[in-house]
Amino acid sequence: MNGRICGLFAVAAVVGAQVPSDRRLESNRLWIRDAGSVNVPWQPIGRAQRLIGMAASGGRLYGISVASYVLVRELRPGDASWTILGESWRVSAMAALDGKLYVSNREGLLGVGPPVPHVRFKDLGELKGVTTMTALDNNIYVVKSGRLLVWEDAVHNPVGWTDIGRAGQVTALAGLDGKLFATTSDNRLYVRESTLQDRPWNLIGHAENVTAMTAFGNKLYAAAYSPSPIAIPPNPTICELWETNQLYWKARSFLQAARQTGKIHGNQECLKLTGDPQALKARVGGQDLSDLIVGSCARCACAAEF
């Protein structure tokens, strides 16, 4: 797909599915640490799902993956499932501002859209060479060609960028409490004032193999690659996406019990029942699965169990 596609970044979707992680130095772990401290350890809090961009807004953590998924999970210091909002058009960086997601894509375009299922991004013009982006105090900051640029009062002003300093080797950017945080390719974490003039970056710790970062509530959230024994395919099928979701495994346990007690016989009968939640409920001993096992989750669970 080339060009501007009628001013919108289209998003098709496996909406509501869950996604796994992979490696390339593609992130597979999510970490958290205090933003205001120096040389404090990062704590792991779950999977990062191959993220190359993150943003925090409205009590939720949003991400974009190298596989072009727009993702969301609860914003809390613990593990949580990532849910697919849609499949983006080659989005590569993300920021959240005023209840909207601002993104740049691999074709060098800038867009904005609401964080909703099947999100579509309105074309705001060209923005080539962006490495990472974040938002703070109504401004949007990007790292482009080793420089830090700012779009002042992005909610009210037309797109316009001002160079405010160096940002060489920066891999991820986050903003919090008047400060900008940056991770670098040599595995370090820096901070500087977000003032709209050039300011020095100060070293405050390490940040190994970070591919995306955001900040909320005095915490930094970072997606990073860590060696892992979990083998996840680089281009997962829909069913492989569901296998990382705890609801999928709960649904499989219900189906397994129904199969063992003779209430469901074979794959075809199981697949047919996925289109009739009430009939499925009756077959699995009255368990209410209408919200638990529907659509892709149900079909994949049936395929795995029979």
Query: In which residue ranges of the chain is pLDDT below 70?
Result: 1-26, 88, 226-238, 240-247, 287-295
Q: Reduced to 3 states, what is the DSSP secondary structure of residue 235? A: coil
- Given CA atoms 301, 231, 214, 7 in this order, what sign does their dihedral have? negative
Q: At 108, which amino acid appears? A: G
Residue 247 structural domain: 238-305
Instruction: Tell me if 9 sits within 8 A of 220, measured CB to CB.
Output: no
pLDDT at position 219 is 95
Using the 3D structure, point to which of 161, 196, 224 is the last residue of a domain: 224
- The per-residue pLDDT for range 176-214, each reduced to its tens digit, is 999 999 999 988 999 999 999 999 999 999 898 899 999
Residues 92 and 144 in one domain: yes
Q: What is the CATH number of the domain that holds 114?
A: 2.120.10.30
Residues 100 and 63 in one domain: yes
| Count of positions (residues) in the chain | 306
pLDDT at position 275 is 76
Q: Is residue 283 part of a domain?
A: yes
Q: Is residue 63 part of a domain?
A: yes
Residues 140 and 201 in one domain: yes
Instruction: Tell me if 157 sits within 8 A of 198, measured CB to CB.
Output: no
pLDDT at position 159 is 96
Mean pLDDT of the chain: 81
CA dist 93 and 131 (Å) reads 7
Question: What is the DSSP secondary-structure string of 164-203?
Answer: EEE-TTEEEEEEETTEEEEEETTSEEEEEE--SS----EE
Residues 56 and 197 in one domain: yes
Residues 173 and 251 in one domain: no
**Angle formed by the axes of helices 246-260 and 295-305, nearest 10°:** 50
Place of tokens 């991820």: 172
Is-above-0.85 flag for pTM? no
Using the 3D structure, point to which of 224, 252, 272 is the last residue of a domain: 224
Q: Is residue 128 part of a domain?
A: yes
Residues 213 and 248 in one domain: no
Residues 22 and 147 in one domain: yes
Instruction: Please name the helix (run of DSSP H) or strand (run of DSSP E) that holds residue 269, with its range, or none.
Output: helix 266-273
Helices marked H in 75-114 — which ranges? none
- The per-residue pLDDT for range 98-143, each reduced to its tens digit, is 999 999 988 899 999 999 888 888 999 999 999 999 999 999 999 9
pLDDT at position 22 is 34
Cα dist. 258→130, 172, 284 in Å? 52, 48, 5
Instruction: Tell me if 233 sits within 8 A of 187, measured CB to CB.
Output: no
233: exposed, middle or buried (C-beta count within 10 Å: 0-12, 13-18, 19+)? exposed
Residues 153 and 246 in one domain: no
Q: Is residue 103 part of a domain?
A: yes
pLDDT at position 56 is 96
How many domains is the chain built from?
Answer: 2
Q: Is residue 230 part of a domain?
A: no
Residues 24 and 99 in one domain: yes
CA dist 285 and 163 (Å) reads 64
Instruction: Please name the helix (run of DSSP H) or strand (run of DSSP E) that holds residue 18, with its range, or none.
Output: none
Q: At 262, which amino acid appears? A: G
Using the 3D structure, point to which of 224, 259, 291 is the last residue of a domain: 224
